Structure 1
Amino acid sequence: MKNNSLNGLLPDSLGNLVDLRILVLSHNKFSGEVPDLRGLTNLQVLELGGNSLGPEFPRIPHRIISIVLRENKFTNGLPQELHSFYQLQKLDIALNRFVGPFPTSILSLPSITHLDINGNRFTGLLSEDLACNPGFQFVDLSANLLTGKLPECLVSSKARNVVYDGNCLTTNDGNEIKNQKPISFCRTEALAVGIVPRTHKTSKWSKVALALGITGGILLIGVAFLILWRVHGKKGSKKPPARVIEDNVSSSYSSKLLSDARYVTRVMKLGTLGIPAYHAFSLEELEEATNGFNTSTFLGELGSHGQLYRGRLKDGSYVAIQCLKMKRNHSTQTFTRHIELISKLRHQHLVSALGHCFEFYLDDSSVSRLFLVFEYIPNGTLRDWISGRDGGETLSWSRRIAAAIGIVKGIQFLHTGILPRVFSGSLKITDVLLDQSFVAKISCYNLPFLAENIEKDGVQSYFKSFKEPNRVKTRHPEKVDVYDFGVILLEIISGRPICTQKEVECLKEEFQSRMIADDGSMREMVDPIVRDRCSDQSLMTMMEVCIKCLVDDPGERPSVEDMLWNLQFAAQVQDAWNSSHGSPVSSSQPAIRQ
């Protein structure tokens, strides 16, 4: 029905044409919002160009192949789910009024060959290492507010046309590109298009500028600092009311990462872990989620730089919101690649980041605070369920082994499943959280990317750990995490809270002497709550792994793979023992302390 003079609103009944495959209404005079078309599961082609439709991006099925919305009045940002349109071949949204960060994950959609975003107000920082679909035939990024470096995949693309004039891009060596505007122009314009309307009095939280990042990341360079229950800082600003800058963080793995990483599975490649996509949060969203950062939502503080709040998003889900106070003179570009790494730390046994936003001063555009939003883990720490609850519930022996296996799997992913590799160096039992299914999740990776950018005295409190021999001098950084895991095993087995290095050494020696004696006395070292509910073989295996992890020479400690194999063996023999002894305690349920 294209090229007519049809006008008015599109009828909602369009959403009922379930067998419709092609809907072409281009070059008419339609206005208003596009009806919800998600029920058209057979829809492959949607062409609505040359009308006055908007402002919301249409709600359409994920299996669509071609979307043409050019020359309309769409004004808001692109939806998060667009990065999952794996069959999308053509996306033409040129000459609209789209604002906000450009989701670079679109560039690497597996089927995309034609992309045109010309003439909008997209912001964001591009990187030369972004991944692109090698089948691209046409790309037009021109006349937006994009900054950063032109992606190498576009420079070397075989596409017939790659256009990017009218942005603020530079070459990979930092030189200016022809037909580009000065970066100051894009920054100023980004502030202009990013103003968030307010209906209430500006609060003290809004007196500094906020820079937002969006879904995902491509290049995993630099090492990041992520501490779920440890980082958040407050700093009142004397600057003018904030304006919003929306910054870009991409959401897919680079081809080099996928080829080099040893354990990146298909699930990780597709990012389908059942966790919401990483995206930007506005300060208004965080204020609303925490009722203005009300004290009733405050969860904890560490030192003078870390605060944590619990928030509830509009969809009803709970999140943990933290903030890190930064030194001045650091722009959002300083942190972009590190945020990309944070966005990729997705694993069943890691507490995952859901998004972030920057806050910065308008006078020099330096970052004042970095907000990080994480999934909220409701069941507290592993210590709470082993040695921290007097007269309360504790974990069964089987569940303790399962928690230990989960920790090792999380460590294995950090060491080998992602590039660059991540070594914690200060893992503690209080850094391991349990979700509603009692699955262990590591919440503190101690990634030091922000360590250089916060006050020194604040950093020190974040990096406290057991100082085992050769921690500083070791050439085996992965073995530092192995040692820390050994300390966690001591507490898992004994049920005693361990807080000093002296306690570690004493308990380690006692374990060794009981095992050497081979007179059955090693069982006396086990938490009395589960002492009679563990098999000899599983107990012996757990204690052996523990002692080997605590060896003074880092080179003599076991590999993560060896630890995992032995712990899984301990779980198997314990399951067999439970079956043969008719254990009343399910391996999937916590035991009750009597």
Structure 2
Amino acid sequence: MGYLSVFLLIFLSWNFFILGTHQLQSSQTQVLLQLRKQLEYPIQLEIWKDHTLDFCYLSSSTQVNITCQDNFVTGIKIMGDKTVKDSNFDGFAIPTVTLSGAFSMDSFVTTLARLTSLRVLSLVSLGIWGPLPDKIHRLSSLEYLDLSSNFLFGSVPPKICTMVKLQALSLDGNYFNGTVPDCLDSLSNLTVLSLGNNRLNGPFPASIQRIATLSDLDFSGNEISGKLPDLSRLTSLHSLDMSKNKLDSKLPALPKGVAMAFLSNNSFVGEIPQQYSRLVQLQHLDLSFNFLTGTPPEALFSLPNISYLNLASNTLSGSLSNHIHCSSELSFVDISNNKLTGGLPSCLSTALDKRVVNSDGNCLSIGFQHQHPDSYCMAVPVKKKESRSKDMGILVAVIGGIFVATLLLVFGCFFVCKRCCSRGISEQHLLHKTVQENSTTGLSSDLLTNARFIPQVAKLGTEGVPVCRVFSLEELREATNNFDRSTFMGDGSNGKLYKGRLENGTQVAIRCLPLSKKYTIRNLKLRLDLIARLRHTHLVCLLGHGLDTGGRDDSSVYKVFLIYEYVPNGNFRSHLSENGPEKALKWSERLSVLIGVAKALHFLHTGVIPGFFNNRLKTNNILLNEHGMAKLSDYGLSIISEENDKHGEKGDGLNSWQMTKLEDDVYSFGLILLESLVGPSVSARREAFLQNEMASFGSQDGRRRIVDPTVLATCSQESLSIAISITKKCISLDSSTRPSVEDILWNLQYAAQIQATADGDQRTDTAPYH
């Protein structure tokens, strides 16, 4: 985004020096006043209320700047305040408040089109919302367009490709979805294209490869999938950011002049291309959190301008030569969480200079802590059958082929699962509102005023998921036969639970939650709106809610009913013991459940702003559907529960339920991991177990004594060791040493890979020989 700012500054400065001597035409003044009205009189434009002023000669500020040539407006820059800075987005401005339901993006663009000489338009963080209409192309003189950090949604209009004078286009931080128009090569003057942090999906547009003038390209934080093609023809490209997408090809060739390349948090496979070792202008390279293999090219460390190199959290292997020469510019290196062996090159020793180096989570023989044993980084050997036959070599080759095929199948399934996991909430849930409340716009003023969702790590596809709605008490009584005892499913800290059947035959679970705090209907609906927008494959779907005012007329609510999808296959705890009511899950099945819950937890923490913490994670809150897939229930209820009041409230109290530490959920997840390892009986003697038994995990005899027999019978020792290690970290008494949810997920997925490989080897070993 730095190039955008420089471009805008130069352009506006140039316009300042060529201001005409004639006063701005009255028609142009009227357009500006109309824009102020449509933007609902933002405080930044307070000075415009004096209609006698010549807007072209008003002093500029960082928030408002109008430039003119002759007697026409040529540039408008308005920076609003409807944003909040969020550390999860590297300082990116996230929109938090929209304009009212009376705002019309279509009418707004129509007004802008009356400024026929407009070349620069920057409207950032103003809360404008709605689809960007095709008529945006009527601003045919635009050279710079920045509408970032707003609430624009729908598709990027293809007509934007006809705005051939555009040199910079920034639509960051909105809610655009669908595919990117594959006609952008018609913008032959384009130097900056920034569409980051939206909900764009589909393949990378091939037309972008043909924009020879492009210097900055940012598609980060979307759901672009498939292959990232050869970008070497973009000879002017300086900065590339494709991080946080769903790309799963090999790494593409990059142009020789690229200085910044952000390709992290995708599913790239294969080795790091040797071509990257010849990118002499490269300063910043981030390839972390992918599935890259092989040994990193040594020349990467010695590129003349490289200052930041992040290769963390891949499956890089082999050893780094001690003769590697590090560039004098290299100040940060991260090779952690790979499968590297051997020693650490001398130039990566932090003892030599101020260079920051992170090498944890490998199998390096460097005498430091946080390294795995060599077996962790070694390929699982193919077990050979003893035979005196002269065909022994052929037999070994066959076994090896089966092993490789199994390994490829495991990785293939892992990549497919990663692609199938998306990261947010569909547009219909972001902007849903019953027509009865606002038949003009179909949008909730409460929702629009308090919208805090961001496109993030984890937008999940919700096609076919029913829209959350309000249920009447009569509907709920009918669904449960007036809450008959036969429909009662249990009672707990979150109220009574009933099983019901709706009029259309849908089975549901109805949670009756008494409220000790007296909420107004408006306040409670706002909180329920926030919960209703949570949609994830591994969350039990909230179908709607009902409110019970007890017949009072003071607009207060004392009981709320939450209507969830019915999940038929029992809870996780009931599947953890051979003595339980359900069949005990083997180790690989338990890992699958734990991975699903970790994905749901990651979404709750990072998929929304602010995140949902303190989710009361327990094994009996993890439900299994008919396919054995985990779905977390009773999430997010802290925002309407009595626990809220312990933290105090201000106004609507929306900030009171935000936890300041993520470690609370991490600790609870650690206890779920522990219960998965030793069985549900640990919950009854948790404190004694944590004090007296944890050390037993360190020995084989101890494991045989305390680990659940079903786990011991179905696990590989390496997979079990990984799970035990991450469990100990989660339940550490020192919260600062507990892992992030991302670390938990990575370790569980790796443990599942190891287990799948071991299961494949076992099937090979027990297969009959002919």
Q: TM-score, normalised by structure 2?
A: 0.40
Where does residue 157 of structure 2 map in the other structure?
A: none
Letter in 2 for 1:393: K
Partner of residue 530 from structure 1, selected from 699, 706, 711: 711
Where does residue 326 of structure 1 map in the other structure?
A: 515
Contact 1:279 1:354 in 2 (8 A): yes
Give the secondary-structure state (helix, strand or coil) at the position aligned to 1:503: helix
**In 2, Cα distance between equivalents of 1:369 and 1:583:** 58
Where does residue 542 of structure 2 map in the other structure?
A: 353
| Aligned: 1:450 with 2:640 | yes
Partner of residue 135 from structure 1, selected from 120, 133, 136: 133
Give the secondary-structure state (helix, strand or coil) at the position aligned to 2:681: coil
| Aligned: 1:308 with 2:497 | yes
State the shift of 1:323 in Å.
2.2
Cα distance change on mapping 1:259 and 1:488 into 2, 3 Å? closer
Cα distance change on mapping 1:454 and 1:486 into 2, 3 Å? closer
Cα distance change on mapping 1:526 and 1:347 into 2, 3 Å? same
**In 1, Cα distance between equivalents of 2:458 and 2:692:** 39
State the shift of 1:374 in Å.
0.6
State the shift of 1:391 in Å.
7.4
State the shift of 1:584 in Å.
12
Give the secondary-structure state (helix, strand or coil) at the position aligned to 1:330: strand
Letter in 2 for 1:499: S
Where does residue 545 of structure 1 map in the other structure?
A: 726
Partner of residue 565 from structure 1, selected from 746, 754, 766: 746
Structure 1 portions without partners, runs of 5+: 1-103, 115-127, 138-151, 155-214, 221-244, 457-473, 586-594
State the shift of 1:479 in Å.
1.0
Contact 1:322 1:372 in 2 (8 A): yes
| Aligned: 1:482 with 2:482 | no
Deviation string, structure 1 residues 4-26 (Cα, Å, up to 9, x no partner): xxxxxxxxxxxxxxxxxxxxxxx
Cα distance change on mapping 1:379 and 1:508 into 2, 3 Å? farther
Give the secondary-structure state (helix, strand or coil) at the position aligned to 2:626: coil
State the shift of 1:421 in Å.
0.2
Partner of residue 426 from structure 1, selected from 612, 616, 621: 616
Where does residue 372 of structure 1 map in the other structure?
A: 562
Cα distance change on mapping 1:279 and 1:396 into 2, 3 Å? same
Give the secondary-structure state (helix, strand or coil) at the position aligned to 2:497: strand
State the shift of 1:277 in Å.
1.6
Where does residue 457 of structure 2 map in the other structure?
A: 263
Contact 2:696 2:702 in 1 (8 A): no
Cα distance change on mapping 1:109 and 1:130 into 2, 3 Å? closer
**Which residues in structure 2 correspond to 1:28-43 (within 5 Å)?**
none
Where does residue 317 of structure 1 map in the other structure?
A: 506
**In 2, Cα distance between equivalents of 1:394 and 1:479:** 29
Deviation string, structure 1 residues 13-66 (Cα, Å, up to 9, x no partner): xxxxxxxxxxxxxxxxxxxxxxxxxxxxxxxxxxxxxxxxxxxxxxxxxxxxxx
Partner of residue 556 from structure 1, selected from 727, 733, 737: 737
**Which residues in structure 2 correspond to 1:69-468 (within 5 Å)?**
131-135=129-133, 216-218=429-431, 260-265=454-459, 267-268=460-461, 271-272=462-463, 274-302=464-492, 306-326=495-515, 330-360=519-549, 361-387=551-577, 389-390=579-580, 392-424=582-614, 426-445=616-635, 447-452=637-642
Contact 1:217 1:339 in 2 (8 A): no
Q: TM-score, normalised by structure 1?
A: 0.51
Letter in 1 for 2:131: N
**In 1, Cα distance between equivalents of 2:104 and 2:756:** 44
Where does residue 506 of structure 1 map in the other structure?
A: 689
State the shift of 1:392 in Å.
4.8
Contact 2:587 2:710 in 1 (8 A): no
Contact 2:515 2:641 in 1 (8 A): no
Deviation string, structure 1 residues 499-520 (Cα, Å, up to 9, x no partner): 25x53452575343442x4x56
Give the secondary-structure state (helix, strand or coil) at the position aligned to 1:499: helix
**In 1, Cα distance between equivalents of 2:507 and 2:579:** 24
Question: Larger relative contact order (C-alpha < 8 A, sep ≥ 6)?
Answer: 1
Deviation string, structure 1 residues 188-242 (Cα, Å, up to 9, x no partner): xxxxxxxxxxxxxxxxxxxxxxxxxxx845499xxxxxxxxxxxxxxxxxxxxxx
State the shift of 1:393 in Å.
1.1
Contact 1:483 1:549 in 2 (8 A): yes
Contact 1:113 1:135 in 2 (8 A): no
Where does residue 159 of structure 1 map in the other structure?
A: none
Cα distance change on mapping 1:329 and 1:563 into 2, 3 Å? closer
**In 2, Cα distance between equivalents of 1:494 and 1:542:** 12
Cα distance change on mapping 1:372 and 1:558 into 2, 3 Å? same
**In 1, Cα distance between equivalents of 2:760 and 2:103:** 49
Give the secondary-structure state (helix, strand or coil) at the position aligned to 2:631: strand
**In 2, Cα distance between equivalents of 1:346 and 1:429:** 21
Contact 2:546 2:562 in 1 (8 A): yes
Cα distance change on mapping 1:105 and 1:293 into 2, 3 Å? farther
State the shift of 1:329 in Å.
5.3
**In 1, Cα distance between equivalents of 2:539 and 2:529:** 16
Deviation string, structure 1 residues 57-116 (Cα, Å, up to 9, x no partner): xxxxxxxxxxxxxxxxxxxxxxxxxxxxxxxxxxxxxxxxxxxxxxx99999999999xx
State the shift of 1:276 in Å.
1.5
**Which residues in structure 2 correspond to 1:13-92 (within 5 Å)?**
none
| Aligned: 1:491 with 2:675 | yes
Contact 2:675 2:683 in 1 (8 A): no
Cα distance change on mapping 1:329 and 1:409 into 2, 3 Å? closer
Cα distance change on mapping 1:430 and 1:356 into 2, 3 Å? same
Contact 1:403 1:440 in 2 (8 A): yes
Letter in 2 for 1:407: V
Deviation string, structure 1 residues 409-437 (Cα, Å, up to 9, x no partner): 11101101112101125321121111111
Letter in 1 for 2:714: R
**In 1, Cα distance between equivalents of 2:617 and 2:683:** 13
Structure 2 portions without partners, runs of 5+: 1-98, 110-125, 136-149, 153-427, 647-657
Cα distance change on mapping 1:439 and 1:295 into 2, 3 Å? same
Cα distance change on mapping 1:327 and 1:382 into 2, 3 Å? closer
Cα distance change on mapping 1:327 and 1:489 into 2, 3 Å? closer
Larger Rg: 2
State the shift of 1:337 in Å.
1.8
Contact 1:130 1:218 in 2 (8 A): no
State the shift of 1:254 in Å.
6.9
Aligned residues: 346
Give the secondary-structure state (helix, strand or coil) at the position aligned to 2:574: helix
State the shift of 1:284 in Å.
2.5
Contact 1:107 1:133 in 2 (8 A): no
Cα distance change on mapping 1:387 and 1:532 into 2, 3 Å? closer
